[in-house]
Amino acid sequence: MRAVIVGGGIAGLSAAYALNNRAEQAGLPLRITVLERRDRLGGVIQTDQFDGFVVEAGPDSFISTKPWAVELCQELGIAGGLQGTSAQRRVYVMRKGRLIEIPRGLTMMVPTKAGEIVRSPLISLLGKLRLGLEPIVPRRRDTGDESVRSFVSRRLGGEIYERLIEPLMAGIYGGDGDRLSLKATMPVWHEWERRYGSLTRAAWANRAASNGSGSIFLTLKKGLGELVRALAEAMEGGVETRINTAVAEILPRPSGFTLTTEAGEKFSAEIVILAAPAYAAARMLAPTDSELAQELGAIEYSSSATVSLAYRKADVKHPLEGHGYLIPRHEHRPALACTWTSEKFPHRAPGGSALLRVFFGRSQGESIWGEDGDQLLSAAREEVDATLGLRAEPLFARVFQWPRALPQYTIGHLQRVGLIRRRLVTHPGLLLAGAAYGGVGIPDCIHSGQRAAEAAMAHLGRIN
């Protein structure tokens, strides 16, 4: 029997690795093939190393409170290379062009230290008074979905949303809080309101869980590309990987599916795990199930880009005390954040150097994109010049563009995913994995691949 995984990102590779292990443990002869349209594996995870610098093209870390990434690193024997962020964990938010430190004591982004909020110049007096009223704000009786902006403004006030929550959420989704689904992106807030009637009371009750001394963000010293490399090496001999292989369509057959590539090559398989973006899965499945394809195609995506800039430390006049800063939407700048990479992860740059990374991701910033990245580079340099006073020529610059890379969990997302799951039941052996459905972070993508592998084994057990 054969299983084909479409998509060689972290979700697809995790699915292939888990499925290969489970098949071997069960003594089940199974040929597994990963088909990736790009010329490399890893999806948005890509690390460049040179001259002592470690440059991440996509994500630079993952959250450790979700166990699946850490557990996979342990299983692959690379957990010894895991490192947290530096002890200097200050993060700033831009306010009228100035950088203001985010108040300490946030639990799930909800302020819990009154003194920090009172002293913070980020929030006005009226905003602080409105935040103080949160415990007496009535809970919402309607159990339907609502936008993140609507929820936060209703409970904490519009100023807290615009100056604190919106830039924090933009760093995760790069989307529009007016359209992002509360239940899909921050279900814990929905549950806190339902259970406690107040986010403030809930955050106080749960603050002990977030007060650990260690960093909740982890990375690998050699970059997250090390995870992709370790997965590929662990599957050598058991899983066939094919790069530069794009799938055009997937059609059902009596005992499974036939996949046809854009080059005309055909694969027959009892199991197909689609770990490609939802819009790509929609295109492949359109000839088979138009309703399923329509729902998959309705999942929206935004684009993102990163620009890494390296400088001599002597040329950087700003003290760079912290991990970087976030830029709220109302500042009307094309960039959404700047990470001081060499401060956040000191092992990412050699001594005497500073490595910065500017992020672009909001939809209104896409107008500056171009095929060669020159406009993004110019915008990144203008950003660090205006904010950090950095006018020196960089030692080097790296621009990475990720078109349609970030799935947007808009209002009604969970209902849409439910419809997709129900349609999949009518196609036994067809499974989904990836960021579009139940979590955008690396641990969530790994877990989605593992769950797809478990479902695949269950299906093979029924037909074998």
Query: What are the structural domain ranges in the chain?
Result: 2-42+226-299+409-463, 47-88+301-408, 102-210
> pLDDT tens digit string along 99-112?
999 998 788 888 88
In this prediction, residue 262 carries a pLDDT of 97
Do 177 and 185 form a contact (C-beta atoms < 8 A)? no
List of residues 6+ apart from 227 with CB closer than 8 A: 10, 45, 69, 72, 73, 76, 78, 220
Domain 102-210 has CATH 1.10.3720.10: no
CATH superfamily of 47-88+301-408: Protoporphyrinogen oxidase, mitochondrial; domain 2 (3.90.660.20)
Please check whether the two domains, 47-88+301-408 and 102-210, share a CATH topology. Answer: no
Segments in the chain below pLDDT 70: 208-214, 362-371
Tokens of 436: 């579009």
> pLDDT tens digit string along 412-451?
999 999 999 999 999 999 999 999 999 999 999 999 999 9
In this prediction, residue 367 carries a pLDDT of 58
List of residues 6+ apart from 383 with CB closer than 8 A: 333, 334, 335, 338, 358
| Cα separation values, 82 from 10, 69, 211, Å | 17, 11, 21
Do 17 and 51 form a contact (C-beta atoms < 8 A)? no
DSSP 51: T
pTM: 0.94
In this prediction, residue 205 carries a pLDDT of 87
In this prediction, residue 366 carries a pLDDT of 57
In this prediction, residue 89 carries a pLDDT of 81
In this prediction, residue 435 carries a pLDDT of 97
Do 214 and 84 form a contact (C-beta atoms < 8 A)? yes
As assigned by CATH, the class of the 2-42+226-299+409-463 domain is alpha beta
